[in-house]
């Protein structure tokens, strides 16, 4: 019967030394990585670079390009567009590549950020009306609440690819509503600096640049189809 003989003490010591050196190297690499991560979070200059890198990686994702309004669609809502007594105060800004240009970005807390809807300065309590694409006679209103968006209404038109979201509301009325009916009231809930409507448009569930037509209908009131 064969038994494995133990390594001679000097060999054991050598192995132990090699093992410890490996651990020390691992620790050093981990410390450097940790320091780099902290530097990127703590130093504002690095922080903005990291933001730009993340934004670039994220905006470069193929899905992002779907945010562009498809050709032949409705006229988009622009800054200053009149909606009855109100107007578009903040336009849609996709902020596609902040590392290259921030012309299509909005500055938020010192950093370039996308604004994926349009804002309309409106007083708290102003009613919002169910829009229509000319065919949909009703819409399903789903109310929700989040820290950022505050009280939010999701508006899904009947038998349509179109849906919308209205954020920062003071009140949302859940259920099925007819085109032209009131479904919510403007407010300043969530991350909002004052009463306004933040309006988003979706086609097949994908965010697109909001059209003037439906925004006007929700602010001013839609005709029944
Ligand atoms: Zn907004």
- Cα–Cα dist 90/160, whole Å: 27
Mean pLDDT computed over every residue of the chain: 83
Best-predicted range by mean pLDDT (24-33, 49-58, 135-144)? 135-144
Q: What are phi and psi of 182, to 5 degrees?
A: -75, 130
CA 119 to ligand 1 centroid distance, Å: 5
Question: pLDDT class for 18, splitting at 50, 70, 90?
Answer: confident
User: What counts of helices (H) and strands (E) characterise the chain?
Assistant: 3, 13
CA 196 to ligand 1 centroid distance, Å: 8
Q: How many CA atoms lie within 13 A of 30 on its CB side?
A: 6
- Cα–Cα dist 105/114, whole Å: 5
Burial of 90: CB neighbours in 10 Å, binned 0-12, 13-18, 19+: middle
What is the per-residue pLDDT across 190-208, written as a single tens digit (0 to 9) for each?
A: 999 999 999 999 999 999 9
Consecutive H or E run containing 142:
strand 138-146
Q: Enumerate domains of the chain plus CATH numbers.
A: 62-220 (2.70.70.10)
**The pTM is what?**
0.68
Q: How many CA atoms lie within 13 A of 88 on its CB side?
A: 23
CA 141 to ligand 1 centroid distance, Å: 20
Return the pLDDT at 61: 44
Best-predicted range by mean pLDDT (35-49, 63-77, 98-112, 174-188)? 174-188
CA 93 to ligand 1 centroid distance, Å: 10
CA 118 to ligand 1 centroid distance, Å: 5
CA 150 to ligand 1 centroid distance, Å: 12
Return the pLDDT at 96: 86
Helix crossing, 44-59 with 9-42: angle to 10°? 90
């Amino acid at each position: 019967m064969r038994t494995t003989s133990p390594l001679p003490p000097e060999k054991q010591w050598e192995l132990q030394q090699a093992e410890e050196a490996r651990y020390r190297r691992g620790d050093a690499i981990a410390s450097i990585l940790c320091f780099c991560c902290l530097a990127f979070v703590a130093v504002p200059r690095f922080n903005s670079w990291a933001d730009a890198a993340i934004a670039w990686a994220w905006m470069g994702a193929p899905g992002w390009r779907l945010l562009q309004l498809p050709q032949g669609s409705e006229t988009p809502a622009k800054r200053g567009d009149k909606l009855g007594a109100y107007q578009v105060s903040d336009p849609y800004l996709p902020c596609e590549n902040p590392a290259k240009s921030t012309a299509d970005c909005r500055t938020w807390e010192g950093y370039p950020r996308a604004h994926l809807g349009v804002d309309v300065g409106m007083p708290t309590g102003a009613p919002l009306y169910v829009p229509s694409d000319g065919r949909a006679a009703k819409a399903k209103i789903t109310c929700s609440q989040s820290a950022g968006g505050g009280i939010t209404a999701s508006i899904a038109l009947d038998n349509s690819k179109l849906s919308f979201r209205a954020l920062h509301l003071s009140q949302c009325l859940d259920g099925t509503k007819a085109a032209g009916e009131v479904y919510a009231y403007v407010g300043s809930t969530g991350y909002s600096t004052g009463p306004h409507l933040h309006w988003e448009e979706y086609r097949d569930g994908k965010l697109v640049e909001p059209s003037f037509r439906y925004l006007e209908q929700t602010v001013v009131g839609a005709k029944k189809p």
